[in-house]
Amino acid sequence: MHRLAVVVLLAALPCSAAAQSPFASSVISYSPGSNPAGGFTIASSTLGEPTRFTGGPFFPQAVTPFQPAFMTSELVSIGAGGQLVVAFDHDVTDDPRNPFGVDLIVFGNAFFGDAAYPMGTPSGLFAEGGQISVSHDGVTWVGVPGTDADGFAPTCGWLDASPYATVPGLEPTDFTRPIDPSITAASMIGEEWPAIRAMYDGSGGGAGIDLAPLGLTSIRFVRVRVPAGAMQSAEIDGFSDVAPEAAKGDLDGNGIIDGADLGILLSAFGSGEPSADLDGNGTIDGGDLGALLAAWS
């Protein structure tokens, strides 16, 4: 296919909508309850991306499963009888393309004790609970049984950081990728740090939730409550919409197939670039172009 024809075809294709944030974007309500952690009452700290690096200039730490976020500007505490309600700027959908079928992730500040400090061998999980409910309209709520907001899996901010790193890593984890639900805290107890990182498999951790068992096709609101009379307070760092596995043709991995992907394919046209070889014939040609256009978002 001639490049001029490709340009004409591209001009006729619809433009994709602007990308939305995968993280919770607004606080609907916050009641701290009777015993929140002192100073941790800035509800907006749960919006946007969860914390990757904590401690400020005096106690700098990369966030790992052994050293969680701990600054008052990074977490909100929900004490006994309290609750937090946040909303996304889009529907979080039950999407079978999502890794492991997980659709939503809640991040707390749970962490592992270390049986072999500073090597990073989990000896037990320190977590403070928090009951999760979800809703599409903010009125009718559905509880999420068996999953704590401030629980497993502890947040991990970097692929390449050591358990007690004091500088950021070079490779961030993916906060929109859940950890495999078959892996539990018990799976990690007694394992060494390389095995722990392998279990995370690029994920930033957090408590994963599949909407399908709840009978829901989509939600927009998430609520975390702590029962009245509870001795502990749950600390929350963030909420994430899970990104689906990259579709064939999504060459830039942003979840949609659009002009950016077409540009990548055209720049590789005539070569044998494996990442753009959508039909697997060894050459980037009209067949690959046709496959990409067939999957256009």
Whose CA is closest to 125, among 152, 156, 106, 148?
A: 152
H/E element holding 248?
none
For residue 29, the SS3 value is strand
What's the pTM value of the predicted model, to 2 decimals?
0.81
Q: What is the pLDDT of residue 104?
A: 98
Q: Which 8-state DSSP code applies to residue 46?
A: G
Provide the pLDDT confidence category of residue 294 given band limits of 50, 70 and 90: confident
Q: Tell me the average pLDDT of the chain.
A: 91
pLDDT digits (tens, 9 = 90+) for 98-117: 999 999 999 999 999 999 99
Q: Would you state the structure tokens that stand for residue 83, as one six-digit string?
A: 């609750």
181 CB neighbour count, 10 Å cutoff? 15
List the domain boundaries for the chain: 26-241, 248-294
61-62 and 122-126 as β-strands: parallel, antiparallel, unpaired?
Answer: unpaired
Phi, psi of 177 (to 5 degrees): -115, 120
Q: What is the pLDDT of residue 47?
A: 98
Share of the chain above pLDDT 70, in %: 93
Burial of 19 (0-12, 13-18, 19+ CB in 10 A): exposed
Q: What does the alpha-carbon distance between residue 46 and residue 39 come to, in Å, rounded to a whole number?
A: 14
In angstroms, how far is the first alpha carbon of the chain from the final one? 21
Q: What is the pLDDT of residue 162?
A: 97
Q: What is the pLDDT of residue 209?
A: 98
Q: What is the pLDDT of residue 239?
A: 98
CATH code of the domain made up of 248-294: 1.10.1330.10
Helical spans, DSSP H, in the chain: 3-12, 185-188, 193-200, 259-267, 286-294
Mark residue 120 as left, alpha or beta (left: phi above 0; alpha: psi -120 to 50; beta: remaining): left
Q: Would you state the structure tokens that stand for residue 182, as one six-digit string?
A: 């078959």
Q: What is the pLDDT of residue 251?
A: 83
**H helices then E strands: how many in the chain?**
5, 13
Q: What does the alpha-carbon distance between residue 124 and residue 111 come to, in Å, rounded to a whole number?
A: 8
pLDDT digits (tens, 9 = 90+) for 230-282: 999 999 999 999 998 766 788 887 768 888 889 998 989 898 887 788 887 88
Tell me the average pLDDT across 205-216.
98
Selected residue with higher pLDDT from 43 and 272: 43
Q: What does the alpha-carbon distance between residue 104 and residue 209 come to, in Å, rounded to a whole number?
A: 5
In the predicted model, is pLDDT for residue 10 greater than 50?
Answer: no
Q: What is the pLDDT of residue 19?
A: 54
pLDDT digits (tens, 9 = 90+) for 113-156: 999 999 999 999 999 999 999 999 999 999 999 999 999 999 99
Q: Which of 72-81, 85-94, 263-272 has the lowest mean pLDDT?
A: 263-272
